[in-house]
């Protein structure tokens, strides 16, 4: 009986220590949540450098980043495919925010565009790079049944992967010379967890996420902050969502939230509701996650094919 007393005491302290540890973790998590989603960080602006460069800057999230950075007093370089759209968005930003803009019309499906971009950016003090340009599937599909598969592979890799590496290669040296700068790489929640029927897209966005995390660790001691942004659905043309909802915010709402995480989170969903969604998905058993994801994407695929057949 006497030996049971020390054992009981030991178990008591193990239990007390475990509870204390869990309470401290919960308290820290709540503190971080309030710091990120309640207070945020306003340390983004022209003090990082006069210019911000935004790829895919004429629509959706890219356009909203361009507008938000212009609102904060930064001059903006818009890079996209259509010169007409570039001119329109450039004029809107200049008129609304009274800042200088530049445009570069290139097609990111091509690999021979980066000398042109380098020449156009020469001499600019670039404080922020937003690698936003991206491409997804027309609809969820099995890998071998993707229409024009070889061309789709090339396009997705060129736009979603190559552009991020090449644009970073062009802009990062200037940031290092000044020991300050921010690179925002727009990945996707599809890069956080594998998404079957969007296989190439999901894998390409996972590359962006890993690339960002590695780059941040390599250069954070040199004054460079690299952020991987992993949103769930945002009401954009790319997502084919027209009407914003609480869990599918407008690009403006999303960017207003996401930009406040710069300097606080090197890896972020950018939006509090998306953060909660990510927490749930991360804790689902893997087989349940894949069952839900496959079921959802198969239903989207069936709906698209049925509609296409009618037309």
Q: Is 142 tagged catalytic?
A: no
User: Do 54 and 77 form a contact (C-beta atoms < 8 A)?
Assistant: yes
Measured distance CA(168)–CA(131) in Å, rounded? 8
Q: Distances from the Cα of 211 to the Cαs of 51, 169, 186, 192, in angstroms? A: 23, 12, 11, 13
Alpha helices by DSSP H, the chain? 4-33, 60-71, 83-97, 114-121, 149-157, 163-178, 199-219, 251-258, 272-283, 286-310
Calpha distance 28→17 (Å, rounded) = 16
65, 137, 139, 201: the active-site residue: 201
Are the C-beta atoms of 134 and 162 separated by less than 8 Å?
no
Which active-site residues does the annotation give?
201
């Amino acid at each position: 009986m006497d030996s049971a007393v020390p054992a009981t005491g030991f178990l008591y302290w193990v239990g007390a220590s475990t509870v204390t540890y869990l309470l401290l973790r919960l308290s820290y998590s709540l503190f971080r949540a309030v710091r990120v989603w309640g207070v945020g960080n306003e340390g983004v602006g022209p003090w990082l450098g006069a210019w911000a460069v935004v790829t895919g800057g004429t629509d959706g999230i890219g356009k909203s980043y361009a507008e938000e950075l212009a609102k904060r007093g930064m001059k903006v370089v818009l890079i996209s495919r259509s010169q007409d759209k570039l001119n329109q968005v450039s004029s809107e930003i200049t008129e609304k925010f009274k800042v200088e803009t530049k445009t570069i019309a290139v097609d990111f499906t091509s690999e021979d565009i980066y000398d042109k971009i380098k020449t156009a950016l020469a001499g600019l003090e670039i404080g922020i790079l937003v690698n936003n340009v991206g491409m997804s599937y027309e609809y969820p599909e099995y890998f071998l049944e993707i229409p024009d598969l070889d061309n789709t592979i090339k396009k997705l890799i060129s736009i979603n992967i190559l552009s991020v590496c090449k644009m970073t290669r062009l802009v990062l040296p200037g940031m290092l010379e000044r020991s300050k700068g921010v690179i925002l790489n727009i990945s996707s929640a599809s890069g956080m967890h594998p998404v079957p029927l969007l296989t190439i897209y999901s894998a390409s966005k996972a590359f962006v996420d890993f690339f960002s995390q590695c780059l941040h660790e390599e250069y954070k001691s040199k004054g460079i902050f690299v952020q991987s942004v992993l949103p769930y659905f945002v009401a954009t043309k790319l997502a084919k969502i027209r009407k914003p909802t609480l869990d599918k915010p407008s690009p403006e709402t999303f960017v207003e939230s996401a930009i406040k995480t710069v300097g606080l989170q090197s890896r972020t969903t950018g939006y509090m509701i998306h953060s909660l969604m990510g927490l749930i998905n991360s804790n689902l058993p893997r087989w349940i996650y894949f069952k839900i994801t496959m079921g959802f994407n198969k239903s989207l695929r069936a709906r698209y094919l049925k509609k296409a057949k009618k037309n």
